[in-house]
Structure 1
């Protein structure tokens, strides 16, 4: 079964597509304090939950969303239409690393999508290049909240240096030419809500759609749930930074 479709189905009940709750998302966007006429770019936007909420919070802002999933972009377009935002968002089906903007942005988002650039470091470099000199970025990625066990590393298919701890992650973003002006460290409840939604939405779809696709979806959900519950739960954290470009 297509991985992009599995992701879309898994995020049906949690379109934020990261272990971040709606209240935390709104607080992060509100801290951006975008000026009228600002331009927003969402790299790896998925269903564009972050961007659509930003457009509601800032009525004079326009945005571009970039993703490789046609299914997710179709969902984003439908949601934008339902919320009366279609005229203020442009959606681009292209790899985030290949996107070439016409002009820089006031706010660039890359939350849970740094893999599109090959990791946090390359993602920060790309984000910095998309920003105006005094622009802001919202970047979210994992960090080791506790030292990973061999079991967790095996289940994640990760190396010990795949992530830094939280202080190391802060150093990494500031070494990349930013200052952290705000941050949100996802709470255990946000992680659990995200993971139960991810696995549960996919399991429900699988039960409603018996057959090869349903079996594939069920297998993906159960493998993911095992990796979470018996691997990285309580070990892998998630932090979303509001960053100000420097230099």
Structure 2
């Protein structure tokens, strides 16, 4: 069973695809205070939940979503049609690092998608290139270590020692890329648990309803993920989403 399909199924009951509740997502987008006719970009949009909520909050805004997931973009297009915002949403199936645009954006998002660029620093450089100078904003979500991880946890998680910093270090990394922090949200453990129980539980239910090779693969993936979470990074790995404004170039 392809990884893309596993992720699509697992996020069925938590399409935000990050350890953030819907209320906290809306609070972050509202705090952006976007101008009339804002242009919004999501680099690594997945199923487009952040963009769809942004278009609901800002009725005259337009948005571009960039992702490689065919199933994710299809789901985003379908939901945009259901919500009546298809005319304000453009979806692009290209690598996030390859997206180009004739104009800068008032808000650029990249939440939990730094892997698409090879890490936080190259993600921030790409985001900075797309943000409207001086007045634009970025919304970037990244993992950090709540507690120092053991070598065993790093190995199990597949992370390099310096891949994630602590919370202070993560803020410093983002600001070192040419941004000032104007707001932020640190996901509480309740948001993490809701996300992880949804991911593993939704995938498990799907697996039990689809006996056979795909169901077996999905069930194995759910159990492996749950074990890594409950016996590994729960309470160690945090997630912060920062609202950033570019410094004068």
TM-score normalized by the length of structure 2: 0.98
Answer yes or no: is 1:39 the counterpart of 2:19.
no
Q: Match for residue 53 of structure 2?
A: 53
Counterpart in the other structure of 1:108: 108
Distance 1:157 1:148 in 2: 12
> 1:195 aligned to 2:196?
yes
After superposition, the C-alpha distances for 1:34-76 in whole angstroms (9 at most, x for unaligned) are 1111100001101110000000000010000011001011000
Name the structure 1 match of 2:94. Answer: 94
**Secondary structure of 1:100's partner?**
coil
**Partner in structure 2 of residue 82 of structure 1:** 82
Cα offset for 1:117?
0.4
- Aligned-pair distance for 1:159? 2.1
* Aligned length, in residue pairs: 247
Structure 1 position 173 matched with structure 2 position 185: no
**Poorly superposed stretches of 4+, deviation over 2 Å:** none
Q: Take 1:100 and 1:23, find their aligned partners in 2: how far apart are those partners?
A: 31
TM-score by length of 1: 0.99
SS at match of 1:132: coil
Aligned to 1:27: 27
The answer (yes or no) to whether the contact 1:105–1:130 under 8 Å persists in 2 is yes
Structure 2 unmatched ranges of 5 or more: none
Written as runs of structure 1 = structure 2, the 5 A alignment for 1:1-247 is: 1-133=1-133, 134-247=135-248
Instruction: Give how far 1:102 is off.
Output: 2.1
Q: SS of the residue aligned with 2:132?
A: strand
RMSD: 0.7
Contact 1:177 1:246 in 2 (8 A): yes
Secondary structure of the residue that 2:37 maps to in structure 1? coil
> What secondary structure is seen at the aligned counterpart in 1 of 2:136?
strand
Q: Is the 8 A contact 1:135 1:245 kept in 2?
A: yes
